[in-house]
């Protein structure tokens, strides 16, 4: 048995990103997991992960805890709440935070963990569920050399691109904030392009294919564009929810305000995601934001 396979990792949160990360980690490590929803736990079991009903049960004697939760409140509850990770994890075990919670949130979490004797690796991720399941993520890291050394094998297994931004918690979140700024704006720009194509009577599929080949092309146009068309025909598979981008663009604009840097495009993108969420699309794929700009004609006529 290899040294890696003996390492016990507790993955807390088996959602769109946590589940594929957990099952991929299970190919090389001993992995336990927690999610409040039984269907997610069942899927994890099918992927070689031993699933538990509480963070504490999943983290019992774990060497590393990896958080893949939605926001700072969920991270705090999973770590410090009743039946939380810190009730059972090994003394001194490192915690990897993969969630996007902003620089201030990450520093606050790291300070509480440090008081309890646990180093934190600030390691927000980007790439989507498919890449998470193959170890092809972009991971940006803020961590001390000691914490990084304790978790390097896990980060390497999950990533194709691993960038060490700095030595402090919050450094990784700062770079992820800029990533989300670009991603959110590009999704909204793609939505506007698709909406305008529909308004002009053009075939959006032809427009997306043509523009993807030129200077106007982007990852979001190529990836979200076709999913926006699916949003009109039964809905796109949920890979990244509207309410996640509402949260993330809120972090972007808040960080910009704190740095005294105006971010007018980010603010506009945030508003469109908020409008979509207010329209009941919070749990829908973020590509569904296009339907706010250009509804189905049948829906518009009803």
How far apart, in Å, do the first and last CA atoms of the chain sit?
63
CB 90 within 8 A of CB 64: no
**What angle do helix axes 145-158 and 18-25 make, rounded to 10 degrees?**
90
Q: Which of the residues 6, 176, 247, 257 is marked catalytic?
A: 176
How far is Cα 174 from Cα 251, in angstroms, rounded to an integer?
A: 10
257 is annotated as an active-site residue: no
Alpha carbons within 13 A on the beta-carbon side of 81 = 9
H/E stretch holding 223: helix 219-230
Beta bridge partners of 8: 30
Estimate the share of the chain in helix, then strand, then coil, as percent rounded to the nearest 5. 55, 15, 30
Please report the DSSP string for 254-293 in residue order. HHHHHTT---HHHHHHHHHHHHHIIIIITTSBGGGGHHHH
Q: Under the phi-then-psi rule, with left for phi > 0, alpha for psi from -120 to 50, and beta for the rest, what region is 143?
A: beta
Known catalytic residues are 176
């Amino acid at each position: 048995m290899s040294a890696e396979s003996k390492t016990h990792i507790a993955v807390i949160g088996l959602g769109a990103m946590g589940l594929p990360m957990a099952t991929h980690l299970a190919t090389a490590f001993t992995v336990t997991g927690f999610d409040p929803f039984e269907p997610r736990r069942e899927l994890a079991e099918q992927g070689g992960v031993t699933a538990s009903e509480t963070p504490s049960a999943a983290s019992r004697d774990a060497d590393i805890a990896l958080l893949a939760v939605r926001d700072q409140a969920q991270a705090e509850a999973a770590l410090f709440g009743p039946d939380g990770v810190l009730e059972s994890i090994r003394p001194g075990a490192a915690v990897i935070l993969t969630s996007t919670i902003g620089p201030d949130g990450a520093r606050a979490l790291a300070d509480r963990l440090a008081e309890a004797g646990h180093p934190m690796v600030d390691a927000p991720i980007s790439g989507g569920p498919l890449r998470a399941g193959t170890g092809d993520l972009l991971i940006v890291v803020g961590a001390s050399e000691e914490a990084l050394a304790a978790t390097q094998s896990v980060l390497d297994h999950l990533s194709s691109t691993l960038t060490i931004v700095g030595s402090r918690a919050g450094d990784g979140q700062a770079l992820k904030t800029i990533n989300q700024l670009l991603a959110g704006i590009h999704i909204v720009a793609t939505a506007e392009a698709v909406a305008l194509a529909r308004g002009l009577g053009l075939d959006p599929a032809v427009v997306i294919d043509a523009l993807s080949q030129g200077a106007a092309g982007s990852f979001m146009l190529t990836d979200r564009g076709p999913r926006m068309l699916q949003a009109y025909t039964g809905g796109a598979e949920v890979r990244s929810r509207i309410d996640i981008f509402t949260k993330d663009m809120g972090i972007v604009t808040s960080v910009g305000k704190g740095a005294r840097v105006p971010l007018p495009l980010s603010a506009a993108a945030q508003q469109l995601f908020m409008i979509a969420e207010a329209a009941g699309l919070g749990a829908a794929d973020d590509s569904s934001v296009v339907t706010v700009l250009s509804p189905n004609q049948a829906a518009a006529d009803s």
